[in-house]
Amino acid sequence: MIGDPLIANGAVPDLAAPAGGLEAVAGIRGDGNVGARRAVTRYERYAKAPLDRCAGVVLAIVALPIIVIVAAAVRIRLGKGVIYKQSRVGRNGAVFTIYKFRTMAPDRRTAVLPLACPDRRVCHKRDDDPRHTPFGRFLRRSSMDELPQLWNVIRGEMSLVGPRPELPHIVERYEPWQHERHRVKPGITGFWQLSGRAGGLAYEGVDLDIDYLQKLSFVTDLGVLLRTVPVAVGRSGR
C-alpha cells in the first residue's frame, strides 16, 4: 500500500500498474494532497519499450564513430577505466548498473571516509571536487558521457525519455510521494534535463518527474527528444 513505509531492507516497493486501465499515481504528495489518477495509455503499455529498444540500436549504430573517439580520448586523457559503472534505481525499484564514460580523475582514497557534511544529498556532487578535469567537464556539459547509456536502453533497463535514475542511498530517504517516479523506466533525457535545473541534484527535480508521468505520451517523448539535441549542443559550447 502506498501509504505504508516504502523502504524495507534497502528496497523500494513494487509499483507495477494494477490490472485495468488506470493506475494510482501518487499516494501522498509533498503538499499532503492525494495525487490524481492517470490513464495508462496504449503507447506507454505496449509501444514505448519496443520503440526505445529499436531507437537505441539505431542511435548506437549512428553514434558508434563518436563513441569510439570519446572512448579513445578518455583512455588517453584519464587513463584506464574508460567506462564508469554505478548502481541506480529503476522502474519498480529495481536496482541496475548504469554505464557512463568516466569524466573524473581516479579517486586516490583506498577506503570509505566520512563525509565532510551531514547530508550526502547536499555534497555528493560538487563543482570544486578535485577529481574534475576540463576534459571531463566538457563531456558532462555536452552529455557525451552518457552515450554508453544507450546500452542500458537496449537492455531494457532505461528509456530514452524518463526520470533521471537516482542513487539507491538517496532513494532510501525519499518521502512516499516521491516514489511515484519509479512507475516508469528512468530515461537518458527528460523534463529535468531540459528544465534549466540540470546543474543541480536529481532528487530536487522529483516534481518534474511526476509532471512527466501526468503528460507521458508519444508526442511528449518526441518533443523532449527534439529539444534535447539543441540543449546539449548549447551546453557544450559554454
Does this model's pTM top 0.95? Answer: no
- Domain positions in the chain: 41-105+121-236
Predicted pLDDT of residue 88: 97
Predicted pLDDT of residue 155: 97
Residues 184 and 90: beta-carbon distance below 8 Å: no
Write the pLDDT tens digit of every residue in 105-119: 775 444 444 444 444
Predicted pLDDT of residue 193: 83
Give the residues across from 109 on adjacent strands: none
Task: Supply 161's cell numbers.
Answer: 525519455
Give the strand pairing for 37-39 and 95-101. unpaired
What angle separates helix 134-142 from helix 218-236, to the nearest 10 degrees?
150
- H, E, C per residue of 38-83: EECCHHHHHHHHHHHHHHHHHHHHHCHHHHHHHHHHHHHHHCCCCE
Query: Which residue has better confidence, 15 or 162?
Result: 162
* pLDDT, mean of residues 205-231: 92
Of the spans 76-80, 84-88, 125-129, 193-197, which averages the highest pLDDT?
A: 84-88
Write the pLDDT tens digit of every residue in 125-150: 555 555 678 888 889 888 899 999 99
Predicted pLDDT of residue 100: 96
Report whether pLDDT(26) > 60. no
Give the side-chain half-sphere CA count within 13 A for 5. Answer: 7
35 burial via Cβ count (<10 Å: 0-12, 13-18, 19+): middle
39-53, 144-158, 203-217: segment of lowest average pLDDT: 203-217
Residues contacting 152, CB < 8 A, separation 6+? 96, 98, 99, 158, 188
Task: Supply 15's cell numbers.
Answer: 509499483
Q: Which amino acid is at 26?
A: A
Predicted pLDDT of residue 92: 92
Residues 158 and 185: beta-carbon distance below 8 Å: yes
15 burial via Cβ count (<10 Å: 0-12, 13-18, 19+): buried
